[in-house]
Amino acid sequence: MAVTDSRGITGFTLARIGEVEAVARAAAPGPWLRGTEREHLVDDVMYGQSTVWPGHIAQVCNFEYAAEREGNAAHIARHDPRFVLTWCEFLRWQVGVHHRAPGNWAGSPPGGFCAGCLSDIESYHSNMPWPCETARRIAGLFRYQPDGTQHPEWKDGWAHELQPPG
């Protein structure tokens, strides 16, 4: 992978993926399950794999008082660390494919070309300039921080507009 823009869109995206991975690795490993899925567990508690007692489960969180407890439980279980880390692995693979191609050619767009799109003849004309739409869409996943504010390293020139949270 030719990542040369540590302060550019690729560096931004890889840094954000790394942050998501760090959060996922600090949590109880997946799979996560709700107490309703097994007898002798508390219904409104989410459980994950224990890191203290391998082979056992431990409490992740309790959503007893949430009005949306059914939806919250399903959402939390669906996005357990195992899923998030797999998702991050896929994003890293995409970032490895879609990066700025080395070198410049006559008639190059100002930012150069996307190496990944250069090999994809179907999208050659629409996605070739760097950063390509794929790179911008992946970076756009991380435009907003968990508190809803725009990430301070985000540059509006990267925008492929995604809806802000909330």
CB of 34 to Zn ion, least distance (A): 39
Best CA proximity match to 10, nearest among 161, 119, 146, 111: 111
> What is the footprint of Zn ion within residues 90-109 (CB under 5 A)?
98
Residue 77 binds to Zn ion (criterion: CB under 5 A): no
CB of 109 to Zn ion, least distance (A): 12
> What is the footprint of Zn ion within residues 107-146 (CB under 5 A)?
114, 116-117, 132, 134
- Taking the least distance from each CB to Zn ion, the nearer of 78 and 93 is 93
CB of 37 to Zn ion, least distance (A): 41
CA–CA gap between residue 37 and residue 7 (Å, rounded): 46
Contact present, 25 and 122 (Cβ < 8 Å): no
CB of 134 to Zn ion, least distance (A): 5
- Taking the least distance from each CB to Zn ion, the nearer of 50 and 123 is 123
CA-CA-CA-CA torsion for 103, 109, 111, 114, nearest 10 degrees? -70
- The values of phi and psi at residue 129, to 5°, are -60, 140
Tracing tokens 């008639």 back to the chain, one arrives at: 107
Residues within the interface to Zn ion (CB under 5 A): 98, 114, 116-117, 132, 134
